[in-house]
Structure 1
């Protein structure tokens, strides 16, 4: 490795650890920019044991530390990087446009500042937070943790998800994070800030591992959260590990609404965030002829520029050229025989440095239950399909966010009643809308906490 590489050490329960096993982290051109320490299984075991032995900070101290960490995260020099330098390296390594990284990093800091309130939004109205509350003298539900140590296998496609596990810290969990090898900078910076703000080394840890030691992190925790694809969802469904899978977010436009009035929302839902997030729309269902909608979407998306991710005007994701070509081959293979409004001449535009932009694609389906409508890829790629009342809500199932542009309140009732649709946005609201305090895929507190009845003298 050349000089000037950023050193990302493990942050274990007994301090910073420089492992002998080190992995290069490269940018989208293939140039190494950092070395990441990969800890062995025994190190994970010992760190997790220390976290189980630790004592949770009082609530007021946790909230104050989270607030201080938010400021350190955005204002401090951490690991030799200013906040602006951190944003640039995340953009270069992940390929996410710099503007998206900037917004996401600000949202993570905001999540830290607000975790003291947002984490408790999930508490049942009939429950109190402490057995000492005067209401428990007459008998009351008390909201309590289901465990003490929470493990996270983090995502690497976007910095934003790191704002979620901060709620576990607010609720009193000790948290161990296994960072993505694709983008370890955000959790490293965040955990360093949390420790400097007052959380102990045995309260929040960064444990990069190889695949062999990854499951040890989950085995040694009380509860866990893992990001991944459908295989991850199937593996962990119904266990003490909460899977965070593909979003497959969708838009439905019924006949009583003019889609032209909502084109900005439709296109923004597809392309905002660079199209890499689980809350980006991957399918649009139209009651009526989908062709005019697909054509209008394609006209808008075709104008987006191909630029390096660190360019202030960049809006599309960038990957190493080889990876981009593999994604292109997959999408073109699945789209064979479909009408391509955009993307028929290829999806990749190489930038000349070993990296390539993934350009938007728009395909028209001939039926709403076509399997392609469930394909989610990390760039603006949308499948536009016809839909009718006779199809019902079956084609809309398995959705993180569904924007329903309709005046049919009975249909909205049915969408809300569907268990596999996590969030319903009624009207002109983009699928990427989110703010602290509202559930993403249910409240994290629903998974981390439970109620116990307490009555006392």
Structure 2
């Protein structure tokens, strides 16, 4: 590929190629695309167009979104076939191509079931339309909390773009700010949706630099923002911003027979390349954690180091300099733990400027060790002891918790704990997801409300 691919902004009046463009490079540092960076005025005009656009009916939207999802997953969009798109995402993000293919299918399925997923969150007593006969005697109508929804997208995994399709299905007009790390997925998905019939004034793509990014949040009614702890803290007090931060996903092996759950543990850590918020980063063991840590390390050590576009690749790849910084961060924070895997380093250079991030397993001596809050973008897990006397405390602030236990009282306490978003009981990997099942609650819980209508 001689010339970089041009990824234009997609405004309310069509594509726009800005003079200011961000170079998007692959894991070796080779430029592969240029992403237009739009100015503040373009953002303001785009959001104004969304605000004045007429929302479409839900029946029409359901069919259009489903059609677009199929096109996104299978056809040529924006000059790229599905295979070319998946290759580029893999090379740019460093995520194994098999993970990108799986995410492509997930987005297609999410598009096909977007409206059904939304209805899963609707209160049982509420109806979709004020004209419903229920409202003649007084009833609840499920309505939007606003009109314009903004998304500050993440670039760690293409699957994050399956979620905001639900906002479209609810009638929101949507502005997506793509990540400069991996802009191909949102650009392709927005293009497919617009080609399928979503009006240009109802869905826009606003690539911006960080100085303009906050204008998108301020200009929208409601926003979904991905980021680390700093981003979560920045927006914590804003009721109109939903944050998606670190998952700090965990596994609790509360029964003695941990060996029968080893496949689930290893898959939870390493599937999805270990880059997703639903990958396990901590394993708590009732009893001695040493044999569990050793068994996990033995399994993860066997994973191959390959370029991300290789069909057999399972580990993430990053530019070598970035990989070295990640390695230093790990080794600095592992002080006080026993490195069962990764003590000699986690960087495996491929000879082209890129490097595989190999797994790390660190055994800790207590369930409240500070390292347990550390989440890194590769298969890295902290293994710690736990006892019933420790209770729920060490397991708090968790996106997904897989608990292997027959203790219904314990399970009940975990389900009741507000800071644990999802509980998988038994041998269900932490990364298991499906349309209609909430991820971090239902998105519709944030975007919709029940309104009394009497007529």
Q: TM-score range by the shorter chain?
A: over 0.9
Q: Secondary structure at the match of 1:79?
A: coil
Q: CA deviation at 1:238?
A: 3.7
Between 1:18-27 and 1:235-244, the stretch displaced more is: 235-244
Unaligned stretches of 5+ residues in structure 2: none
Which ranges of 4 or more aligned residues in structure 1 deviate by more than 6 Å? none
1:10-36 deviation line (CA, Å, top 9, x unaligned) = 001111000000111000000000011
Partner of 2:245: 245
CA offsets, 1:101-129, max 9 Å, x none? 00011101110111021112111111111
Alignment correspondent of 1:444: 443
- The aligned counterpart of 2:382 is 383
Residue by residue over 1:339-395, the C-alpha shift from the partner in whole angstroms, topping out at 9 and shown as x without a partner, is 111001001000000000000000000000001011100000000000011111110
Task: Report if aligned partners of 1:151, 1:177 keep a CA contact under 8 Å in 2.
Answer: yes
- Cα distance in structure 2, aligned partners of 1:237 and 1:378: 23
Task: Show the counterpart of 1:276.
Answer: 275
Tell me if the contact between 1:257 and 1:405 (Cα under 8 Å) persists in the aligned partners. Answer: no
CA contact (8 A) 1:257 1:407 kept: no
- Report 1:32-431 matches (<5 A): 32-239=31-238, 240-254=240-254, 256-431=255-430
> Partners of 1:404 and 1:231 in 2: how far apart?
29
Partner secondary structure for residue 378 of structure 2: coil
Give distance in 2, aligned partners of 1:47 and 1:27. 30
- Supply the distance in 1 between the matched residues of 2:284 and 2:44 (Cα, whole angstroms): 48
Contact kept, 8 Å, 2:336 with 2:364, in 1: the verdict is no
Does the residue aligned with 1:121 lie in a helix, a strand or coil? helix
RMSD value, Cα? 0.8
Q: Distance in 1 between matches of 2:315 and 2:2?
A: 31
Post-superposition CA distance 1:114-173 (Å, at most 9, x none): 102111211111111111111111111110000000000001000001000000000000
Q: Is the 8 A contact 1:294 1:363 kept in 2?
A: yes
Aligned-residue offset at 1:402 = 0.3
2: CA distance, partners of 1:218 / 1:312? 39
1:221-273 Cα shifts (integer Å, max 9, x gaps) = 0000100011111111242010000000000011x340001100000000000
Matches of 1:28 and 1:417, distance apart in 2:
43
For the Cα contact (< 8 Å) 2:26–2:32, is it kept in 1? yes
**Structure 1 unaligned runs (5+)?**
none
Distance across 1 between alignment mates of 2:413 and 2:135: 39
Q: CA deviation at 1:3?
A: 3.7
Contact 1:94 1:157 in 2 (8 A): yes
Helix, strand or coil at the partner of 1:437: coil
Superposition TM-score, scaled by structure 2 size: 0.99
2: CA distance, partners of 1:351 / 1:337: 31
Inter-partner Cα distance in structure 1 for 2:142 and 2:237: 22
CA distance in 2: counterparts of 1:136 and 1:420, whole angstroms: 36
Shift of 1:337: 3.0
Tell me the distance in 1 between the aligned counterparts of 2:293 and 2:396: 21
- How far, CA to CA, are the matches of 1:238 and 1:128 in structure 2? 31
Q: Indicate if the aligned counterparts of 1:66 and 1:194 stay in contact, CA closer than 8 A.
A: yes
- Report SS of the residue matched to 1:242: strand
**Could you tell me how far 1:4 is from its partner in structure 2?**
2.3
Deviation sequence 1:404-438 (CA, Å, 0-9, x none):
00010000010011100000001111101110100
Q: Which residue number in structure 2 is paired with residue 4 of structure 1?
A: 3
CA distance in 1, matches of 2:261, 2:336: 29
Q: Aligned partners of 2:181 and 2:53: how far apart in 1?
A: 30
Secondary structure of 2:278 counterpart = coil
Does residue 17 of the first structure (1) align with residue 11 of the second (2)? Answer: no
Cα distance in 2, alignment partners of residues 387 and 337 from structure 1: 18
